[in-house]
Structure 1
Amino acid sequence: MVDGEPPLPALPVPETFPFPYPQPYEIQLDLMRTVFRAIEERKIAILMCFQVESPTGTGKSLTLLTSTLSWLAANRRRLDQAAEDSLRLRLTADDPDDPPWVIEHALKSRLTDLRAAQEVQRTRLAEAREKERQRRKKATGAFRGAKRVKVDHDTVVGAGDKGDEEFMPEDTAGGDGTGVDTESEGGNLSKEVRALMAKYESGRPKMIEVEKEDDVPKIYYTSRTHTQLRQLTAELLKTSFPAKIDSNDRPSMSRTTSTIPDAAKEEEEGVSLVPLASRRQLCINPKVQALGKKSGDERMNEACLDMQKSGSGGRCDFLPKKDDEAGMLDMRDAVLVSVSDIVALGKETCVCPYYATRRAVRQSQLVTLPYNLLLQKNAREALDIDLTDQIIVIDEAHNLIDTLISIHSTILTASHISQATSQLTQYLARFRTRLKPVHALWIRQTLSVLSGLERICTAFATESSKDKGKAGGEMLDTIQLMSRLGGSNDQVNLLEMVKYLRESKLARKVSGFAEKTAEEVAKKGKTVSNSAVKHASIAAFHQVEAFLLSLTDARDDGRIILSTEDRGGKPTVTMKYMLLNPAERFKEVVESARCVILAGGTMEPISDFMLQLFPSIPRDRFSTLSCSHVIPKHNLLTQVVPMGPRKMDFEFKFANRGDEQLLAELGAVIGSTIGLVPDGVVVFLPSYAFLDKVKAVWGKSGLLERLSQKKQIFYEPQTSSEVDQTLRDYAHAITSTSTSTSSPISSATTPLKSTTKGALLFAVVGGKLSEGINFSDNLGRCVIMVGLPFANMGSVELKERMKYVEGLPGAGKDAAREMYENLCMRAVNQSIGRAIRHANDYATILLVDKRYATHRIRSKLPKWIGEDVQVPQDFAGVAKGIAAFFREKRERGLR
């Protein structure tokens, strides 16, 4: 806008939204209005909204999508109108004496020019949409230049395919010759964002350039896992926002048109979604995939980058050359016009989905990505993500503080240091005579730093063996660590060293050379190539580089923890850089974005977020909403179990968890409960170690066998690959018995007569089943929370974090204690929230620990639970409450 123009008119909050179901819950309407208002007013929204699914499938994600996309559509119409008004104002100001009809004629001419410029992009996408229709009809590739590629699946690109020149350090920073940046380099600067109204301010039409496209207003939607993001895609398809591609369909968008000719067409063509992910999720090259499975993600990234250069063992068949990008651009357009399986589309068209999605980001209205790609500055720069004036939605945001701390923390083991030192020494010996002086100098300095780190680890190992108290850990800041390196390392400029490592790509060169050397030795029969060992070797120097990078970013809000950990059966010294101040890393996101939305079911208490993430932001910039639950109160029974049937108090402190009498009392509670509850029961325990102890004690006493006679028993696996199968077996055990047996529960103390009825699942708080898994309906008629999963107070890391929080401006005298309790209760709330998932669901929750009866702990439970918690005097009262609860459900005919 030019000087003197009025500000854009405020968008009124709609009374209704284009929700795909006829009658959203009132809390969903409240949520959509709050989100819309927060975006319009440029606020930070903290939304405490648990899953609000109904039997028809509506939910939190769908509500967030509807409200944010509704604002985007309304804002687009506002900007179109503002652009026309701005142009009319400018024409009037340029020639104030012109009659109105002359101004209107000039305005129409300019708008026609503008339409011509917009038509370039619209036509291109229309062609892509038509190709997508034809592709779906014929199930064949319809892309310009697309061809079937024959790939030798048995051939793996390895370091042995390279000449030694490939291992020489690079002299300057920059790209890899492909015209696309990579997150493994991460050093590129973000391009200056173009003003949203720039195309309207120009009096002449502009041709859209492939490399300089406008970054349209969009939503960046991030969550913890790719599975959760894929679920979001399914939710989007339920709405009217994405375009319909079926051959006989026209886009079903219903929007108010702008006065700019045909400006509504872009909206009618639908919202585009681009899923950003790593090569692990998106790569379709079998050679690179094989390397990833065999040697890990780091080797996968290196192989991909190597295959982008001709003469390095073969260019990737799925990545078009820079001077012939027709296939890549067509794939980008296909991503923009269709919400579809990107990987399947890439395989069919033989074009890399990993790079195609990155090319599509700037023109997309909705981008999904995992936490680390949004929250790390280097990752955003590598992906050319500019958050300026964009909408950020962070789902499952109860993890945000811990996630920021985790992704900005780095662990370096003594083994990593030793391997990296050995690799770099061999590398220097091999290329000494061919290295330029500047490379030789930096490599020697890097070796000197590595030697210093080795000395620190050796000294700590010696001291810990003498002083057992020190084995728990020692805390250093960056200055203290550098002073211990010895030699001339106090003169080393870490900033310059890290800059050199990144620009020369030395980690890639050294690890590639090390892999080649190992393969040559293996071929001579001198050793056996072990993929796990090889992966560790490749990752070693990359870990060193990441650790040194953390040290350069430490300032006063990072610490280095020296400790001894059991790795592979033997003690190993580790150095961990730990971030203490997540607010500083999140600050850039908050300051750039138009609106940041933090949504989660267990956000309360929000005091941690205010203190640790937003200490300097005025409180009037926040908008908060705490939803009540959609279920009627009689569908939930929450009871504290302060003691067992034998009157033994329950207090599962860390020191008590091995008490076999206490475990026997817990077993009696579970045994009685599962006899009163139909279908599925989920028991959450504080840790995997506690789960192992329970299994050992109950197995020895015969209790597990007795429990298995009532319900089939399952345990949470410790490996992710086994989780889905465990859940399928658990669900099958419930559905098979619930359909074959229907004997009612006759009284509060009479167990079920059938051999087994339903299933019993033991899970771990903070484990794989405590988040993202819904135990709705008969999968979770009872959730039993055993103890309070407090973190280990003896942890050096936790102590330092609590000390840091205490010293923050505005922190009260109990800030550290609050943080400690909140960490625990957030995990508890996340676990017990797995049960009730929609309005017609019902369940009982048992909180097995007398500390849950205290006001301080109960006040930290979700409001929809904490307001109606019952505390019976003994277990007989608990059992009576459970029996009455399910009797009432049977009498109402509920299943």
Structure 2
Amino acid sequence: MANYSAATQLNMEPSQTDFYHPYQPYVIQLEFMMNLYKCIEEKKVGIFESPTGTGKSLSLICGALTWLRDHERRMLNATFGQTDASDWLLQAEFAAQRRALMLEREELELKLTKLREEENRQKQRGSDARGFKKARTAVIQNQVSVDDDFLVEDYESDSERTAASTTSKEGFSSSTQALLDKLRPSVKATDVEEPGSDRLKVIFCSRTHSQLTQFVNELRRVKPPPSMDLMIDDAKQNSKLEEIVKHLALGSRKNLCINPKVLQLSSTAAINERCLDLQKPGIAKDKKCPHLPSKEDKARVDAFRDRVISQIRDIEDVGNLGKDLQICPYYASRTAIAPVEILTLPYPLLLQKSAREAMGISVRDNVVIIDEAHNLMDAIADTFSVSLRLSQIEQALRQMTAYAIRFKQRLKGKNRVYVTQVIRLLNSLIDCLQVVTEKAHSHEVTVTAAKLMSGKGADQVKPHKLLQYLYESKLCHKVEGYSDSQSDEKPNTGKGAMMQFQNFLTVLMNPDDEGRFFAGRQDKDIVVRYTLLDPREHFREIVEESRAVILAGGTMSPMSDYADYLFSYLNRESLEMFSFGHVIPPSHLFAQAVVKGPSNIDFDFTFERRGSESMIVELGNMVLRTCTVVPDGVVVFFPSYDYLTQVISVWQRCPASCSLMQSLAAKKTVFQESKGAAADDLLRDYAIAIDSGKGGLLLSVVGGKLSEGINFSDKLGRAVIAVGLPFPNANGAEWKAKMQHIEELQYHQCKKAGKTEGESRAAAKSASRDFYENACMRAVNQSIGRVIRHRNDYAVILMVDRRFSTARITQKLPGWIKDSMHNSPVAWKVTEADIEAFFKAKE
């Protein structure tokens, strides 16, 4: 037994030391892939920080797919090879099973190979490959003019269940989720059966489809090891059959719908609702979506399933394939999930349980990889947070009242009761928001669910009963449909006031320790919003069901928040954190905290002191001298748009003889990011100015459009300057609630551990301060970390504020930047000379 264990442990090593990387991997890439492989094998949660430009995507792909194929081969050998040699009957049975599995895999690979070859031939011939297209003449009716279609059906039993909408947000609290699971039984959307066998998978998730497309492009480069030796048997010879990577890109209806009359609707909710409407039981055949798969479409669905995995396709390719075959790619994709090895999907499809269930995605025993995970906790909070405008509530009340008047004589029993409750609750929300915001003036304030439901008899409403009714009766959707039918405006504009109210009603049931309600004035309106404060429970099911969870990003530092507030329920042995260096040599990065300017004025951009005009002028002189010694592009990040505006105002008038802005413009072409404006044109003009030889100075904002996802590689970013620390507003209602929540968590943990009252309070205060600083530094790190894009790139990083020289802040920088910094602050003239020498060495 001991010998077998040792042999098994030896087999846990990767089948190839370079992990089948398409290029010669760097040492840090090998370390990344080895640690990723071990994390997955040992069923752990891993947090991986690897700077932009270090080939993170390829490292994730090669490490994960090598493990996947190695694991399948090991499991195959363990299942069919560990039999008693004396039991020849059992050996024969296992051999037959093994051969059957190999034949199944060989048939699949041969079929996919033929499909690839045929598709390549069609591309060469310029064919549109629409071999399965059927003529269809069905007309989709977007509007129903008969009032009866808007009347809710008789509703006499609270336990009676009908088809439920899946458009609302899910997973708000464990108790609420359990309730919603009962309220919304699953609905089988199509008559097409899915394959039974489900292959082990890597589920790869990122924020946007553009990031997923970049990942798919990298995936095309990789050829992982085979999971078994497959042979092709032809008349000439027996040869090995290539086992291609089976990949599927999944998306929402909005991404994959091919029905033009549905796709033209402006909001995701409207698209989802229209799609569900067109497949309701009892709907006339000529009103159903012509692309929805049915039993009669099995041949086309099978063709879609095989073709979609025959090549590695991005989400756009999947949509185009659906158009080619005239079959809905959103629903047809589900049949392709079982045989694939790697799924790519955006955050919402992974984070919402209802979305996973609707798509047929299971994380159980699979590997979940989340890229660009530096904002995962914020993404979870955003996914499960809801806002509602007073104007929407007032619109919903008008719609609901008009509906109640129109159908007054026909609403009976509990329909009448629940319609009345909706009107009461809408009135209560309106009264509460008007009173609260009158007292608060321009400030946002915290409100409670009890307060929101305290008026006009709404306190007698049982939210879970009302919510059950709304889901089962589809009242909100019917009210909106009736309102659209009575309006001269274009229907389904995406406002969805009643549906937004229904979403908001869900979070009214959430416990106070998970989130808070905030109300305040915004854009001449009053807004009430629910913000999730504790993301743990909403990600916990994914962690507990999956084999391993990997969070990866270019700037994950500081990492302590993930351990403390996302995975606090895990044993620390189950959580691994890695921060890898850069692929550039040390001589290619110059990083420095700048504490004083050219005139020896201190840089202290705390909120209380940042308005000092003398310091702002000193900053301008420092930027000017930086632009003098730095070639090509310089990017400056400010804490906020308001402060950027204030700084430019000072630079334009001081000194009067020749403003700093004029001096800067004489050195480089100056560009300014503005709130709400598109970044594409700005970046294009900035690049053109640099290519012209004049150089460019880009003034931008931490957390703005240019601080994430933009690579200032080579000449686009020879220097990046971070001005001050962009701390969130600690006096705002939301951040007060967040810090209070952190303090309460830490306090109870300390008390549980036996610490004194004083120790517990002090630790709680320290934890909330740390959390506050970490949020700031993640934003800084994300901004300054994008100037090095590849091994031969080089740049200067200047962090302008005395606080950047403190150990407390420095330790929150990524390792590759921290290791390049001087240990102690130096005078500006020394820094300027070092920068000049840095670039001279690159000539």
TM tier relative to shorter chain: 0.7 to 0.9
* Aligned equivalents of 2:110, 2:468: Cα separation in 1: 44
1:140 aligns to 2:114 (yes or no): no
Q: 2:347 aligns with which of 360, 363, 371?
A: 371
Q: CA deviation at 1:665?
A: 2.0
Q: 1:320 to 1:130 in 2, by over 3 A?
A: farther
Q: 1:408, 1:715 → 2: CA distance?
A: 34
Q: CA deviation at 1:398?
A: 1.4
Partner Cα distance (2:575, 2:448) in 1: 34
Q: Summarize deviations over 1:660-710 as a string: whole Å, max 9, x none.
A: 333222221111111111111111111122222233333445432332222
Show CA shifts across 1:746-793 (max 9, x none): xxxxxxxxxxx2111122111121111111111110001011000101
SS at match of 2:798: strand
The CA deviation at 1:824 is 0.5
Which stretch of the first structure deviates more once superposed, 662-671 or 218-227? 662-671
Aligned to 1:318: 291
Contact 2:142-2:261 within 8 A present in 1 as well: no
Residue 652 of structure 2 contacts residue 660 of structure 2 at CA under 8 Å; is this kept in 1? yes
Query: Match of 1:43, as an amino acid?
Result: K
Matched, 1:224 2:196: no
Residue 821 of structure 1: aligned partner:
773
- Structure 1 residue 164: deviation in Å? 2.8
Q: 1:113 to 1:676 in 2, by over 3 A?
A: closer
Q: Distance in 1 between matches of 2:71 and 2:530?
A: 43
1:517-556 map, 5 Å? 517-519=486-488, 522=489, 535=493, 538-554=495-511, 556=513
Contact residue 782 and residue 835 of structure 1 kept, 8 A? yes
Name the SS of the counterpart of 1:82 in structure 2: helix
2:307 maps to 1:334: yes
TM-aligned CA deviation for residue 862 of structure 1: 1.3
Distance 1:188 1:669, change over 3 A: same
1:592, 1:103 → 2: CA distance? Answer: 33
The aligned residue for residue 462 of structure 1 is 438
What SS does the aligned partner of 2:487 have?
Answer: helix
Q: What's the CA shift string for 1:519-576, capped at 9, x where partnerless? A: 2xx5xxxxxx6x9xx746x3212221111112223363222122x2231xx2x33222
> Could you say which residue in structure 1 is the equivalent of 2:260?
286
Does residue 234 (structure 1) correspond to residue 190 (structure 2)? The answer is no
Partner of 2:717: 780
- The answer to whether the 8 Å contact 2:106/2:230 transfers is no
Aligned to 2:616: 663
Distance 1:430 1:706, change over 3 A: same
SS in 1 for 2:667: coil
Question: In the alignment, what sits opposite 2:458?
Answer: 489
Structure 1 contact 457–573 (Cα < 8 Å) conserved: yes
1:865 corresponding residue in structure 2? 817
Whether the aligned pair in 1 keeps the contact of 2:131 and 2:325 (CA below 8 Å) is no
For 1:884, the aligned partner's letter is A
Q: 1:305-704 to 2 correspondence within 5 Å?
A: 305-308=276-279, 311=284, 314-340=287-313, 341-465=317-441, 471-478=442-449, 480-481=450-451, 484-519=453-488, 522=489, 535=493, 538-554=495-511, 556-562=513-519, 564-567=520-523, 570=524, 572-701=525-654, 702-704=659-661
Q: Is the 8 A contact 2:195 2:335 kept in 1?
A: no
Task: Please give the residue correspondences for 1:13-162 in structure 2 after superposition, counting only pairs within 5 Å.
Answer: 13-14=13-14, 16-53=17-54, 59-85=55-81, 101-111=88-98, 125=112, 128-129=115-116, 131-142=118-129, 145-147=132-134, 158-159=142-143, 161-162=144-145
Q: The residue matched to 1:411 in structure 2 has which SS? A: strand
Aligned to 2:792: 840
The letter of the residue matching 1:732 is I
Q: Does the 8 Å contact 2:443/2:521 carry over to 1? A: no
Residue 553 and residue 880 in structure 1: after superposition, are their counterparts in 2 closer, same or farther (change >3 A)? same
Aligned equivalents of 1:675 and 1:28: distance in 2?
37
Compute the displacement of 1:122 (Å): 6.0
Native 8 Å contact 1:559 1:578 kept in 2 = yes
Residue segments in structure 2 that go unaligned for 5+ positions in a row: 171-179, 187-191, 751-762
Match of 1:525 in 2: none
Q: Size of the alignment, in residue pairs? A: 790
Tell me the residue number matched to 1:195.
Answer: none
Which stretch of the first structure deviates more once superposed, 835-844 or 688-697?
688-697
Using the alignment, how far apart are the partners of 1:267 and 1:598 within structure 2? 34
2 CA distance for matches of 1:8 and 1:474?
Answer: 63
Q: Give yes or no for contact 1:255–1:268 (8 Å, CA) kept in 2.
A: no
Alpha-carbon distance, 1:123 to partner: 7.0
Aligned-residue sequence identity (percent) comes to 39
**Residue equivalent to 1:742:** none
Secondary structure of 1:655's partner? coil
Q: From 741, 744, 748, give the equivalent of 1:807.
A: 744
Give the superposition deviation at 1:115: 5.6
Post-superposition Cα deviations, 1:568-593, rounded to whole Å, max 9, x if no partner, equal: xx2x3322212121111111111111
The residue number in structure 1 matching 2:758 is: none
Cα distance in 2 for partners of 1:509, 1:666 equals: 59
1:770 aligns with 2:707: yes
Shift of 1:821: 0.5
Deviation at 1:157, TM superposition (A): 6.0
Whether the 8 Å contact between 1:327 and 1:351 is mirrored in structure 2 is: yes
Compared with structure 1, are the counterparts of its residues 556 and 853 closer, same or farther at alpha carbon in structure 2 (3 Å cutoff)?
closer
Q: C-alpha distance in 2, partners of 1:432/1:765?
A: 54
Residue 301 of structure 1: aligned partner:
272
Q: State which drifts further: 488-497 or 397-406.
A: 488-497
1:494-513 Cα deviation digits (max 9, x unpaired): 12222222222223222222
Amino acid at match of 1:609: Y
Q: Structure 2: how far apart are the matches of 1:857 and 1:416?
A: 43
Between the aligned partners of 1:887 and 1:380, the Cα distance in structure 2 is: 55
In structure 2, give the amino acid aligned to 1:287: K
Cα deviation for residue 144 of structure 1 reads 5.5
Residue correspondence of structure 1 range 792-803 to structure 2 within 5 A = 792-803=729-740
Task: Give unmatched runs, 5+ long, in structure 1.
Answer: 54-58, 93-98, 193-208, 242-252, 466-470, 523-528, 738-756, 891-895
Change (3 A) 1:108 1:210: same
Compute the displacement of 1:724 (Å): 2.2
- Which one is further off, 37-46 or 300-309? 300-309
User: How much has 1:657 moved relative to structure 2?
Assistant: 3.8
Which segment is superposed worse, 367-376 or 791-800?
Answer: 367-376
Aligned equivalents of 2:742 and 2:240: distance in 1? 49
CA distance in structure 1 between the partners assigned to 2:253 and 2:798 by the alignment: 43
TM-score (norm 1): 0.82
Q: Which amino acid aligns with 1:214?
A: S
**1:859, distance to aligned residue in structure 2 (A):** 1.5
Give the Cα–Cα distance (whole angstroms) in 1 for the partners of residues 133 and 412 of structure 2.
43
Counterpart secondary structure, 2:626: helix
Q: 1:489 to 1:822 in 2, by over 3 A?
A: same
Which amino acid is the alignment partner of residue 393 of structure 2?
I
Q: 1:666 to 1:883 in 2, by over 3 A?
A: same
Secondary structure of the structure 1 residue equivalent to 2:345 = strand
Contact 2:702 2:726 in 1 (8 A): yes
Query: CA–CA distance in 2 between the matches of 1:283 and 1:806?
Result: 46
Report the CA distance between 1:608 and its aligned residue.
1.0
Q: Post-superposition shift, 1:8?
A: 11
Q: Which residue of 2 aligns with 1:245?
A: none
